[in-house]
Amino acid sequence: MSAPPVMVAMSGGVDSSVAAALLLAEGSEVVGVTLRLWGGESDSGCCAVSDVDDARRVCDALGIEHHVFNLGDDFDRHVVAPYVSAHAVGLTPNPCIECNRHVKFDRLLDRTRALGFERLATGHHARVAVRPDGTRRIARPADPAKDQSYVLHMLGQDQLSGLELPIGDLTKDEVRQRATSLGLRTAGKPDSQDVCFITREHGRGDFLSRRIPLTPGRVVDATGTEVGRVDAIELVTVGQRRGMELAGAAAPRYAIAVDMPTATVTVGNADDLLVDATPVGGFSWADGPVTGPVFAQVSAHGAAVEAQLVADSVRWSSPHRRVAPGQSVVFYEGEEVLGGAVAT
């Protein structure tokens, strides 16, 4: 009995190209789909017009169908607008996570199933681990340097039930070797970087300034003494060192708190960045809530460290750098993702 057909999300990059090729080699009926998400300028991510063309040409080379879904309204509503709103209130959003949450594994998954596909595949560097009781979790991939499990932490059993991650057992070098051996045009294409709707030329400040007013602010030390200024309080992130006009100091100083109502940034030294616990909310779980000991990771390429999850707080086993409000904290059990939350 042949495997049910699979829809492959084709970003125009090498990873999704090889994902489609691997499934095709297994004997699956494969159809490629590319999402058109952002209609504005893009030069650094996965939303450029050229990416759609690359995906189409890869599908042509593999001999499979290719379709384009326009989910731009969903992207604006669930990713771009919340990104702007978060900065306006002093949060540090992660738009790639919200794109996965609301667009790729919600709207795209719904459309995939409506078209009769039981399986959706992507080119993410992660694996789907099937546990003895039949539940599934996202797990770390073969290539630690390309680990994308952090940005997939929100996936629950419904999304995981038909998800395929074909390149999770390959390193990036092996992915490129497969693409080269197949003669795929994406074999040497650089990885996408940064937020896809923020251009390198204009940057985050320009993008936000065209959508919300940016407020100059003052910088104070722990005693409340003013030590500098910032051009826009909305652009300051907890933990930030650069971008603040500060009077000379013997040691580096970091933003340890941002107060939006008074347009004030408080700075301190490296030790002042350390806390014993991080408040969190907005939990999502792979297969049910967890409390007690976990390993917690606070950035896509950071290290997971020992912690205790108690109610709405992550209590660190040793003093830990502050997590910017709005950033995700992801919980692991060994190589597997338990779920995640958002720092508040």
Q: Where are the beta strands (DSSP E) in 221-312?
A: 226-230, 245-246, 254-259, 264-268, 274-285, 292-297, 305-310
Which whole number is the average pLDDT over 274-291?
Answer: 97
Name the band, by pLDDT with cuts 50, 70 and 90, for residue 195. Answer: confident
Structural domain includes residue 138? no
pLDDT for 70-106, tens place per residue? 999 999 999 999 999 999 999 999 999 999 999 999 9
Which whole number is the average pLDDT over 311-329?
Answer: 97
Cβ(195)–Cβ(95) below 8 Å = yes
Does residue 232 share a domain with residue 112? no
Does residue 261 share a domain with residue 112? no
* Residues with a known catalytic role: 99, 196
With pLDDT > 90 as the criterion, what percentage of the chain qualifies?
A: 87
Does residue 44 share a domain with residue 176? yes
Structural domain includes residue 299? yes
Does residue 20 share a domain with residue 89? yes
Cβ(65)–Cβ(214) below 8 Å = no
Residue that is last in its domain, among 237, 268, 299: 268
Structural domain includes residue 129? no
pLDDT of amino acid 244 = 79
Does residue 329 share a domain with residue 248? no
pLDDT of amino acid 160 = 97
Does residue 264 share a domain with residue 287? no
Structural domain includes residue 109? yes
pLDDT of amino acid 42 = 60
pLDDT for 106-156, tens place per residue? 999 999 999 999 999 999 999 999 999 999 999 999 999 999 999 999 999
Does residue 170 share a domain with residue 38? yes
Does residue 233 share a domain with residue 116? no
Name the band, by pLDDT with cuts 50, 70 and 90, for residue 302. Answer: very high
CA distance 149 to 146: 9
pLDDT of amino acid 190 = 87
Query: Number of folded domains in the chain?
Result: 3
Domain range for residue 256? 216-268
Which whole number is the average pLDDT over 313-320?
Answer: 98
Which whole number is the average pLDDT over 220-228?
Answer: 93
Does residue 174 share a domain with residue 69? yes
pLDDT for 17-75, tens place per residue? 999 999 999 999 999 999 999 876 665 556 567 889 999 999 999 999 999 999 999 99
pLDDT of amino acid 95 = 96
Structural domain includes residue 106? yes
Structural domain includes residue 284? yes
pLDDT of amino acid 243 = 77
Structural domain includes residue 177? yes
Residue that is last in its domain, among 208, 236, 268: 268
Mean pLDDT of the chain: 94
Return the CATH number at 332.
2.40.30.10
Does residue 313 share a domain with residue 247? no
Look at the block and give the residue holding tokens 């042509």.
Answer: 60
Q: Are strands 305-310 and 313-321 parallel, antiparallel or unpaired?
A: antiparallel
Q: Is the pLDDT of residue 294 over 80?
A: yes
Which whole number is the average pLDDT over 266-284?
Answer: 97
pLDDT of amino acid 46 = 60
pLDDT of amino acid 233 = 96
CA distance 62 to 255: 50
Which whole number is the average pLDDT over 322-332?
Answer: 98
Nearest residue to 186 (alpha-carbon basis) of 58, 35, 60: 58
pTM, to two decimals? 0.93
Does residue 32 share a domain with residue 83? yes
Q: What share of the chain is helix, strand, coil (3-state, %, to 5)?
A: 30, 30, 45
Return the CATH number at 262.
2.30.30
Return the CATH number at 22.
3.40.50.620
Structural domain includes residue 134? no
Does residue 170 share a domain with residue 54? yes
Residue that is last in its domain, among 268, 290, 309: 268
